[in-house]
Amino acid sequence: MTTILEIKELIRRIYRKYEAIIVPVVKFIIAIILLLQIRNAFGYNDKVSSIPVCLILALLSSVLPLGATIFFSCVVILVDFYSLSLEIFLTTAAIFAIVALIYLRFSPKTGYMVVLTPLAFMIHIPYIMPAAGGLLFSPTSAVSVVCGTFVYYYLHGIKEIAPTILSAEDSTAAEKVTAIVNQIAGNREMLLVMLVFVLMTVMIFCLRRLAIRRAWTIAIIAGFITEFIILFGGFLILGIGGKALVIILGNIISICLAFVIKFFFFHVDYKRTERVQFEDDDYYYYVKAVPKIKMPVQEKKVKKITDTPRQTTETGRTKSKE
C-alpha cells in the first residue's frame, strides 16, 4: 500500500510540474480520436474528413479552450451531412444549436463530458461518465452526460438511415425530416439510458456527500447496482436483446475506473478521524475531520566519496614525524 501511495504522489508531482505540456497533449489525443471516429463513421466530404485536416484541427484544439474541440467536431459533422443531404444538414444544425443552448445554460463547466460521453459509448464503457459526474461534480453534470448521450444516439441513428435517404430519390424534404425525427423519437433505448444516467449521477452525488464512513465506496457500489438493475430490466421490458454481455463487461470496467477516481481524489484515513467542537457568540460547532492519506515521495540522495590522493597522505605523515 505504501508503494501505491508513493506512486500516486509521484504522479501528482509530475502532473503539477509538467501541466503545461500534459494538458495540451491530452487535449490533442482526445480531439484526434474524436475526429478520426467522425471520419470513419461518416466521411461524406473527402476534403474536411482528410487526415491532414483532422491533424490541423486537433493541433488547434490542443492550444485552444476545450470548447474548440466541440466546435470543430460539430463543423466537421455538419459539412459531412451537407454533402449527404440538405435536410439532414439543417435538422442536425438545429439539434446541435438546441443541445448547445441547454449545455451552456445548465452545465458550461463540464463541457468535456459532452465530448467524452460519445467516446465512452464507442468503447462500451459509458457508465463511467455519470459516475464521474456524481463523484467529482454536481448533479448538473448530468446535463452534459445527457447531451453527449443524445448526440451519440442521434449520430448513430443518422448513420443507419443514411443509405435509405440516399436511395430514396423521390422522397420530399418533409419525408426525409420526418424520417429523422421518427428515428430520434422512436429510440426507446436512448430515452431509457438518459433517464438511468441522470438517476445514477444524482444518486452517487447525494450518497458520497453523506457524513458517513466509506461514503464514496457506498455511493459507487449503490449507483452501479441501481444503474445495472434498471438498465438490464428496462432492456428486457423493451425487448432489446443481445446486450447483456456488453452491459456486464462495461459495468465491471467502469466500476474499476470509478474506484481509481476515488483513489486519486478521495483517499482518507478513517482511523485518525477527529471530532472538534468550538463556539462563537451565536452557535456551537461540531466538526468531524477525516485526514487525507498523503505519502511523501522519498528522494534518494547519492553521496560521492572520493579517495584522498596518496601524495597528500604521505606528505601528512612526513610532517607528523618531523
194: nearest Cα among 154, 237, 246: 154
* Domain presence at residue 282: no
- Higher pLDDT, residue 229 or 158: 229
Helix, strand or coil, per DSSP, at residue 208: helix
Residue 255 inside a domain? The answer is yes
- Whether residue 128 contacts residue 120, with contact meaning beta carbons closer than 8 Å, is answered with yes
Average pLDDT of the residues in 178-198: 86
Choose between 290 and 296: higher pLDDT: 290
Whether 88 is covered by a domain: the verdict is yes
Tell me whether residue 286 is in a domain. Answer: no
Per the structure, the complete domain to which residue 122 belongs is given by 2-275
169 alpha-carbon distance from chain centroid: 41
C-beta pairs of 190-194 under 8 Å, 24+ apart in sequence: 190/149, 190/150, 190/153, 192/231, 192/234, 192/235, 192/238, 193/126, 193/149, 193/153, 193/231, 194/146, 194/149, 194/150
How is residue 87 written as a grid cell?
435536410
In a domain, 96, yes or no: yes
63-77, 89-103, 276-290, 306-320: range with lowest mean pLDDT: 306-320
In terms of Cα–Cα distance, which of 287, 266, 270, 267 is closest to 278? 287
Averaged pLDDT for residues 10-26: 89
Q: Band of the pLDDT at 170, cuts 50, 70, 90?
A: low
Neighbours of 196 (CB within 10 A): 20
pTM across the whole model: 0.80
**Please, where are the H alpha helices in 85-213?**
86-106, 111-122, 128-136, 141-167, 173-185, 188-208
What does each C-alpha distance from 51 to 35, 63, 94, 216 come to in angstroms? 9, 19, 28, 43
Q: How confident is the model at residue 318 (pLDDT cuts 50, 70, 90)?
A: very low
Largest CA distance in the chain: 118
Per-residue pLDDT, averaged over 193-213, amounts to 92
The x, y and z cell numbers of residue 232, run together, are 438490464
Confidence of residue 322 (pLDDT cuts 50, 70, 90): very low
Question: Which range has highest mean pLDDT (122-136, 233-247, 264-278)?
Answer: 122-136
130, three cell numbers: 455519470
Q: Report yes or no on 225 lying in a domain.
A: yes
Q: Which pLDDT score, from 0 to 100, does residue 294 have?
A: 64
Number of domains observed in the structure of the chain: 1
Q: What integer pLDDT is reported at residue 76 of this predicted model?
A: 92
Distance (Å, rounded) from C-alpha 113 to C-alpha 103? 10
Does a structural domain hold residue 76? yes
DSSP letter assigned to residue 292: B
Closest listed residue to residue 234, CA positions, set 195, 184, 290, 286: 195
The pLDDT of residue 169 is above 70: no
Is position 157 within any domain? yes
